[in-house]
Structure 1
Amino acid sequence: MLIDAHAHLLPGHYPDHAPECFPSMEAVAGSTDRTLVFGEMRFRAKDVFFTAERRIEAQDASGVDLEVLSPMPPLLKYDLDPADGLALAQHVNDVTAELCGHAPERFAGLGMVPMQDPEAATAELAAIRDRGLAGVEIASNIRGDSIGHERFLGFFQEAERLGLSVFVHAMPSPMSRLPASAMGTYVVGVEGMFAAASMVLGGTAAACPDLRLSFSHAAGGFAMMLPRANYFWGGAWNEGPVDPERAVMPDDGPSPLEIARRFYYDSMVFDHRTIRYLIDLLGADRLLVGSDFPAMLREDPAAKTLRDMDLPAEQWALISSRNALRWLGRD
């Protein structure tokens, strides 16, 4: 079984009397594609973004058994007025639930919430669960604030209480020091790292030990800095015995690596050498298959890099499906 834990959808339509700040989907002459218009953004979306039958055809063609569908990240627009943000989220969540309802054995859906208003976002989580959605997607920062900021703690506690999965998708910050040309490359690595580190350093991960949290693109550069963080915590190289005399920032709580091994990470990192490092450092039981489909083309077949790595059967079973089922709370 192969589960793609990082795939996106777009609604094919928006209400006729939606606020002016809402996105729109404009018809494309002579095509089933539609153009997403959202502020300055113009994105041509193939019908596989919003048509269940086309998605299943694409799954079958690439060897995917189930997709975890989350809103395309530009919809996570946290500069909207909170009331408009909530209305947009509710529409997208209704569309997601409807699409998943066409074939619940092939789709699991994640909703969205207006994180610019943490109280409203927290209150909406119960409605997400009641729609039959598996969890929620959020951006890696909320208008420049890291997700580990204390003002979002109640949101994560409620997601944990309701048993909802949380998918953190790397998104640029308003304070990004990188040029726009880096948005799809370096920004993903930097913002994913900041988001995951903030969950450790801000105490949210410790406060929510049962939270099922996944990061897009393996949380960017997070895994590369974890050994240094572990040294500062415990004073040991190579995850050896704790040496209090060498520890720069001693802490009697769990080590950064121990906390990081509670998270899940999609393995869309484009290189088998990086995947091997992630398996070695974090464990095969922490990785998920991800593709960013249909915003990006899948490998042919899906997860080809993983398939070609000659992983032990147990590791392949974990990464290809079991971890995703556990993250979704379906084990």
Structure 2
Amino acid sequence: MLVDAHAHLLPRDYPEDAPECFPRMEAIDGDTARMLLFGAVRFRARDVFFEAERRLEAQDASGVDMEVLTPMPPLLRYDLPAADGLSLARHVNEFTATLCAHDPLRFTGFGMVPLQDPDAAAAELSAMKDAGLRGVEIASNIAGSSIGEEKFLGFFAEAERLDFPIFVHAMPSPTDRLPASAMGTYVVGLEGALAAASLITGGTAAKCPDLRISFSHAAGGFPLMVPRHQYFWSGVWNEETPVPERAVAHDDGPSPMDYARRFYYDTMVFDARALRYLVDLLGPDRLLVGSDFPAMPREEPAGKTLRSLGLPEDTLADITWHNAFRFLGIDPPR
């Protein structure tokens, strides 16, 4: 069995009386695709984004048994007025629930919230869960603010209370450090790393120990950065024990590596060597298959590189599907 825990959808349409700031999906002559128009975004969305039967055909073609569907990241617009952001989230969430109801064994949906208003975002989680959604997707930064900032702690605490998992998708933030051409490559890697690190250094991971949270693209450069944090916590290389007296900033709580191994990470890192490192450093119980489909093409078949590593069968089963159900907090199908 294989669960794709990082796949995206787009609603087919938006209300005719929607606010001016809402997205639009325009028909394309002679094509089943539609054009997403949202601010500066111009994106041709194939029908597999919004047609359930086309998604099922694509799953079967790639050897995927179930998808965890999250809104296409450009919909996570935290610059909108909070009331409009809430209206947009509710429309997208309703569409997601409807699409997933077409085949609940093959589709599991995550919604979105207006995190520009953390209180409103937290209040919306219960309604999303009642509507059958299984979790919530957020961006790696909220209009440039770190997700580890204190003002977002109530949102994470409410998700933990509701046993509602969170998927963090790397998204660019305002920057002049890299050219625009790097937005889909290096900036995404940096953003994932900053998001994961901020939850540890900002205290959210400590204050929400039972929160289930996953990161797109293995949280970018974070897995290479956390051993340095571990060294500054313990003062030793290679996680040696016992912790010596010369620890730089040691405390009696969990180590940075302990926190990192509470998170989940999708395996869309494009290289078998990187996958081996993730398995070794973070553990095979922390990894999920992800593809970014249909924004990006899947490997054919899905999980091809993962299966090339020669992992034990039980380890491979953890990564391809057991971990996904643990992250979701639901029992796998018989």
TM-score range, shorter chain: over 0.9
Name the structure 2 match of 1:263: 263
TM-score (norm. length: structure 2) = 0.98
Does 1:137 pair with 2:137?
yes
Q: Corresponding residue for 1:251? A: 251
CA distance in structure 2 between the aligned counterparts of 1:3 and 1:267, rounded to whole angstroms:
12
Give distance in 2, aligned partners of 1:16 and 1:112: 21
What percentage of aligned pairs have identical amino acids? 70
Count of residue correspondences? 331
Show the counterpart of 2:228.
228
- In structure 1, what is the equivalent of residue 203 of structure 2? 203
2:7 matched residue in structure 1: 7
Note the residue ranges of structure 1 that are not aligned, 5 or more in a row: none
Helix, strand or coil: the match of 1:237? coil
Aligned residue number for residue 303 of structure 1:
303
Q: How does 1:36-51 map to 2 (within 5 A)?
A: 36-51=36-51
CA distance in 2, matches of 1:192, 1:178: 16
Q: Structure 2 counterpart of 1:53, which letter?
A: E
1:192-246 deviation digits (Å, cap 9, x = unpaired):
0000000001110111111110000000000101111111001111000244443
1:308 Cα shift? 1.5
Matched with 1:80 is 80
**Structure 1 residue 34: Cα displacement:** 0.2
Amino acid at match of 1:298: R
Tell me which amino acid in the other structure corresponds to 1:18: A
Question: Which residue identity is paired with 1:22?
Answer: F
Q: 1:165: which partner in 2? A: 165
Which residue of structure 2 lines up, in the alignment, with residue 107 of structure 1? 107
**C-alpha distance in 2, partners of 1:176/1:304?**
37
Q: How far apart are 1:67 and its partner, in Å?
A: 0.1
Secondary structure of the 1:152 match is helix
SS of 1:248's partner is: coil
Give the counterpart letter for 2:113 in structure 1.
Answer: V
Distance (whole Å) between structure 2 residues aligned to residue 44 and residue 3 of structure 1: 26
In the aligned structure 2, how far is the partner of 1:243 from the partner of 1:324?
Answer: 34
2:121 matched to which residue of 1? 121
Secondary structure at the residue paired with 2:238? helix
Matched to 1:317, the amino acid is A
Q: Distance between the aligned counterparts of 2:9 and 2:176, measured in 1?
A: 26
Structure 1 stretches of 4+ moved >4 Å: none
Partners of 2:296 and 2:208 in 1: CA distance: 33
The residue identity in structure 1 corresponding to 2:286 is R
Q: Is the 8 A contact 1:113 1:121 kept in 2?
A: yes
Q: 2:117 and 2:176 mapped to 1: Cα distance?
A: 22
Task: Tell me the CA shift for residue 175 of structure 1.
Answer: 3.4
Deviation sequence 1:92-118 (CA, Å, 0-9, x none): 000000000000000000000000000
Secondary structure of 2:67 counterpart: strand
In the aligned structure 2, how far is the partner of 1:211 from the partner of 1:68? 18
CA root-mean-square deviation: 0.8
Segments of structure 2 that go 5 or more residues without pairing to the other structure are: none
Report whether the alignment pairs 1:281 with 2:297: no
Alignment check: 8 A CA contact 1:144 1:175 kept:
no
Letter in 1 for 2:204: T
Tell me how far apart the structure 1 counterparts of residues 300 and 176 of structure 2 sit (CA, whole Å): 34
Give me the whole-angstrom Cα distance separating, in 1, the residues matched to 2:278 and 2:14. Answer: 40
Does the CA contact (< 8 Å) of 1:3 and 1:320 recur in 2? yes
Q: Which amino acid aligns with 1:7?
A: A
Contact 1:244 1:250 in 2 (8 A): no
Instruction: Specify the alignment match of 2:178 in structure 1.
Output: 178
Shift of 1:176: 5.2
One-letter amino acid of the counterpart of residue 102, structure 1: H
Query: C-alpha separation between the residues in 2 aligned to 1:154 and 1:92?
Result: 23
Q: 1:5 Cα shift?
A: 0.1
CA 1:263 to 1:18, structure 2 compared with 1: closer, same or farther past 3 Å? same
Between the aligned partners of 1:147 and 1:266, the Cα distance in structure 2 is 19
> Could you say which residue in structure 2 is the equivalent of 1:65?
65
Report the Cα offset of residue 330 of structure 1. Answer: 1.0
Report the Cα distance in structure 1 between the residues aligned to 2:163 and 2:172, rounded to whole angstroms: 28
